[in-house]
Structure 1
Amino acid sequence: MDHASGGPQEPQQPDNAQGTPRCYRHPDRETGISCTRCERPICPDCMVSASVGFQCPDCARGTGPGDSGRPTPAATRPRTVAGGSLASDPRLVTKILLGLNIALFIVIHVVPDQTRLLNQLVLLGQWPPKSALVGTGIEPTSGVATGEWYRLVTSMFLHQEIWHIGFNLLSLWWLGGPLEAALGRARFLTLYLLAGLGGGALTYLVASPEEASLGASGAIFGLLAATAVLMRRLNYDMRPVVALVALNLVFTFVWSGIAWQAHIGGLVVGAGVAYAMVHAPRARRSLIQWGTSGAVLLVILVAVAIRTVVLA
């Protein structure tokens, strides 16, 4: 969801049967939140954290109704719900992630030896499996267990089928923009990468080491979980997002060929990190947010290290 531009406007009058207010900057969006200064209704994309409640972007900049228009002091500059800085383009990181996925998709389809490149980038525990090499004196030559930890990252941006990348990137666009606007760029990118790594780590920990996996699904499930956490934080109706999570989980376990470990890992990590992002008390916000992110990364690294020792 993009921010609309322009100066202060008159409050929009409710025009639905229940009289639910609509955001004064996005008249098509219903909302139950109002600016604490001018009392105009605002949607999540327009909410700026204040000492009490939320303000609209105009009031946060000092250009709202009744403001003098003087520059806002640095200590009270507009912040997102999670405490991040407001950006002129709230979808910039989302667009960059989309571009990386598309670029790698194009590369693997134009290189002469596609299979070889895929084998070097997919998430693979160990190949050939050591159990098949007992007594031969030969050691596995590729996989995370042989030191190729980079596969946990490269596999997050790798897709082979057009339907696979299409579904994941549509989901990234729909979920990423609102989350990036609500969290801020740094926090959103941290959430995305940790969810993807969490999905990869659980896959590596549980799945057969010779089974290869790829795709952004772990990160996407993390964004889905984060959306649910954010909606709960804003007291929005949870039924649509709960139904979406349930439907995706059904597909995860019913549709053959899906690495369910990546989906579950991303979902759990995304929910945990997002909860810390949006519920951290203002006085200790940065400590809790980045401390939680660091702790999650440490757990991921320990899980990968334990699995590597087991496979060695």
Structure 2
Amino acid sequence: MDTDRLPGCYRHPDRDTGITCARCERPICPECMISASVGFQCPECVRGGSGTGHTAAANAPRTVAGGIVAGDPVLVTKVLIGINAAVFLAAFLVPGLAIQLELLGRYVEYWGAPVEGVATGQYHRLLTSTFLHVEWWHIIGNMLALWVIGGPLEAALGRVRYLALYLLSGLGGSALVYLLTAPNTPTLGASGAICGLLGATVVLARRLRYEMRPVMVTLVLMLVVTFVPFGGSWSVSWQAHIGGLVTGALVALGLLGPATGRRRTLIQWGTCAAVFLLAVAVVLVRTAALT
């Protein structure tokens, strides 16, 4: 018997955890842990200790990042998958839509006419490209990764913080692509944002003192896919992967810091604002160089 193995969550026995409820001391995973004034509590202890009116609102169940615990802890992930699927279908049905949404630095010739890009003011491409896929295997692979990585992370962070992390990771990946690739190279896909979620998962696992080997193996596999050529007519944008990974890790460091109360909220949204402004600065520098 492996005596060094961490106990399983009392609600999800297959999830090892080193965190216990501050009241009943049952082991709890990120999906079940709720921030309390001291440590974390399980859902049963929070329900048993909740008051009414303003007190109940103040003591509402919170995630490890301070977000409100939602009835459906993976709703945003489902919505993101739905948006990606809808854009994929629209690009398939509407000729020319994909080239209007993909990340393009300056312009390309499309049916004899130039298509403009970010450098000419079409900044929407930095985010619309992260919801665009034109191959079935591409969207299936990315959506499976989004479900596997994003679901637990959304439960741990809460909806608003998770959505901010996802969008900023996608933006960070696009900003690095825009900075380092040729201006007429089209780029698309959700992998930059998903790599950001992976970077945040590394920070979360470290913060909660989880077993790091599974997370690190996943990270290594992502880097192998990013940098090792496997042939074929497609190529992986390492700029999107690395940009998203670093952005996600930076945002997660702010979201999962040790601070509490109003100071924690200030640090969290201050970090998000700083990362956003950094991405904007990168975009503006590249635009100035292309115009």
Do the aligned partners of 1:140 and 1:146 also contact (CA within 8 Å) in 2?
no
Among candidates 4, 24, 27, match of residue 10 of structure 2: 24
Cα 1:20–1:293 shift into 2, 3 Å = closer
Q: For 1:1-312, what aligned pairs fall within 5 Å after superposition?
A: 17-18=2-3, 20-61=6-47, 63=48, 70-71=51-52, 73-111=56-94, 113=95, 116-128=96-108, 142-255=116-229, 257-283=235-261, 284-312=263-291
Give unmatched runs, 5+ long, in structure 1: 1-15, 130-138
CA separation of 1:280 and 1:291: change in aligned 2, threshold 3 A: farther
CA distance in 2, matches of 1:266, 1:90: 23
The aligned length equals 280
Q: Which amino acid aligns with 1:154?
A: T
Q: Which amino acid aligns with 1:213?
A: T
Task: Tell me if structure 1 keeps the 8 A contact 2:22–2:41.
Answer: yes
Normalised by the size of structure 2, how large is the TM-score?
Answer: 0.91
TM-score with structure 1 setting the length: 0.86
State how far apart, in whole Å, the 2-side matches of 1:243 and 1:87 are: 30
Cα RMSD of the aligned pairs, angstroms, is 1.8
Tell me the distance in 2 between the aligned counterparts of 1:20 and 1:298: 40
User: Secondary structure at 1:58's aligned position in 2?
Assistant: helix
Give the aligned residue type for 1:28: D
Once structures 1 and 2 are overlaid, which stretch shifts more, 297-306 or 30-39? 30-39
Distance (Å, rounded) in 1 between the aligned partners of 2:32 and 2:147 = 18
- Aligned-pair CA distance for 1:20: 4.2
Cα distance in 1 for residues equivalent to 2:15 and 2:108: 54
| Whole-Å separation in 1 of the counterparts to 2:140 and 2:245 | 20
SS at match of 2:107: coil
Decide which structure has the larger Cα Rg and report it.
Answer: 1
Q: Identify the residue that residue 132 of structure 1 maps to in structure 2.
A: none
Amino acid at match of 1:184: G
CA distance in structure 1 between the partners assigned to 2:200 and 2:128 by the alignment: 23
CA contact (8 A) 2:9 2:29 kept: yes
Q: Is the 8 A contact 2:18 2:208 kept in 1?
A: no
Q: What stretches of structure 2 of length at least 5 have no aligned partner? A: none
Q: 1:70 Cα shift?
A: 4.8
Distance in 1 (CA, whole Å) between partners of 2:258 and 2:102 is: 36
Q: Percent identity?
A: 59
Paired with 1:224 and 1:20, the residues of 2 have a C-alpha distance of: 22
Q: How many angstroms does 1:17 deviate by?
A: 4.7
Q: CA deviation at 1:55?
A: 0.5
Larger displacement relative to structure 2 (242-251 or 168-177): 242-251
